[in-house]
Amino acid sequence: MTEVSAQAPPNDLAPEQLRLRPGADGVGVELDPASAGWRHLSFRITQLGEGEHLALVGDSREHLVVTISGGGASVLASDGPVVRLDGRPSPFEALPWACYLPAGVGATVTGHTAAGSHASILAIADAPSSGRETADLPLRITPADVRVEVRGAGTATRQVNHIVTPEFPADRLLVVEVLTPGGNWSSWPPHKHDRDDMPHEAVLEEVYYYRMRRPEGWALQRLYRRDGSRDAIWAVRDGEVVLVTDGYHPFAAAHGYDAYYLNALAGDRRTMACSDDPDLAWTRAAWARVAPDRRVPLVPPASPDSASPSSVSPDSASALSPVDGRDASGVPGS
């Protein structure tokens, strides 16, 4: 049985330590539990040119590879066939492809470039096995497997792309993408997931990886505690990462600049349960009186027939979900 932590570990990282900027190549970012001050989640952004390789060790950690942009990748598992992940020009033009690798399954990831495209940019999340029963072979997730949700209303309307949901046969990992039109808010109302109080809240470590439709743009990310012991605000830019160790974490896209972020989370429970800031929770109920922003979805759902026979779906079909701001299991989120 998985041991459940009662709360997130104490974390006193300074704001400049919680925001990570790309390395010398302008792309690469990497973090692990030791640098983040938490228990489970590792995360990296890497780019691979045509034929370049990256080895994922088949130890006691599960992995998820997500295509961000470029020509995609091939994932050759240690005991399975090659899983081909198509690319996409950018997160603002197409839905993602992904490959889930259960703990104990290693793989070699090979980059591809499409005609006129740059190197393939990939996000890779991993977390240690808890012993929970999972898929035992690699699973490919195609755009048709990604459930598209229109969440919120008015200036809080955003698009949530569900990649690895609580129902997916993974262990600790959960992954979504969020697209926020310029001038709108997401991760709203502000919510947190740093203590175990089910069914209202679970302990989840989380990263935000940002891309901007216009790369010179920026957006605002806040991370705060109600007791005031932490209150950080960043003007986050294209390619940066923020660590959400604990506390509330709303996001706002600047006027004229559509924004994207990938959320990778890990915890002891397969849930996205989180609790809203009680001062601002009323705004969720107010959405029923406000129309959704018609710009959303920024990227439409994929046609079900675009999936190949070897794909594995976390949800049976893509769909536009209601605007009540709750995920498939009825809990609020990004």
143-174 pLDDT per residue, tens: 999 999 999 999 999 999 999 999 999 999 99
- What whole-number distance in Å separates Cα of residue 138 and Cα of residue 189? 36
The amino acid sitting at 334 is S
290-314 pLDDT per residue, tens: 999 999 999 999 976 554 433 333 3
Domain of 273 in residue numbering reads as 15-283
Q: What's the pLDDT score for residue 311?
A: 35
* 155 is a domain residue: yes
Q: Is 170 exposed, middle or buried (0-12, 13-18, 19+ CB in 10 A)?
A: buried
Chain-centroid distance of CA 91 in Å reads 12
Q: What's the pLDDT score for residue 304?
A: 67
- Backbone conformation region of residue 17, classed left if phi is above 0, alpha if psi is from -120 to 50, else beta: alpha
Q: What's the pLDDT score for residue 328?
A: 41
- Residue numbers of the chain with a pLDDT score lower than 50: 307-330
* 323 is a domain residue: no
- Most distant CA pair in the chain, distance: 53
Question: In 3-state terms, what secondary structure has residue 236?
Answer: strand
Q: What's the pLDDT score for residue 81?
A: 83
- What whole-number distance in Å separates Cα of residue 186 and Cα of residue 207? 15
* 5 is a domain residue: no
* 74 is a domain residue: yes
- What whole-number distance in Å separates Cα of residue 288 and Cα of residue 286? 5
**Quick one: CA torsion of 328, 178, 37, 30, rounded to 10 degrees?**
130
Tokens 């959400």 belong to 244
Q: What's the pLDDT score for residue 307?
A: 45
Domain count, the chain: 1
* 258 is a domain residue: yes
Q: What is the CATH number of the domain that holds 195?
A: 2.60.120.10
* 114 is a domain residue: yes
DSSP 284: H
Tokens 């974390």 belong to 11
Q: What's the pLDDT score for residue 332?
A: 59
Q: Is 186 exposed, middle or buried (0-12, 13-18, 19+ CB in 10 A)?
A: buried
Q: What's the pLDDT score for residue 287?
A: 97
The answer to whether 95 touches 135, Cβ cutoff 8 Å, is no
**Quick one: CA torsion of 316, 318, 324, 330, rounded to 10 degrees?**
20
User: 222-245 in b/e burial notation, b at 16+ Cβ within 10 A?
Assistant: bbbeeeeebebebebbbbbbbbbb
**DSSP H/E element including 283:** helix 282-286
Going from the C-alpha of 73 to that of each of 31, 112, 198, 232, the distances in angstroms are 22, 5, 38, 36
* 153 is a domain residue: yes
* 288 is a domain residue: no
Chain-centroid distance of CA 307 in Å reads 21
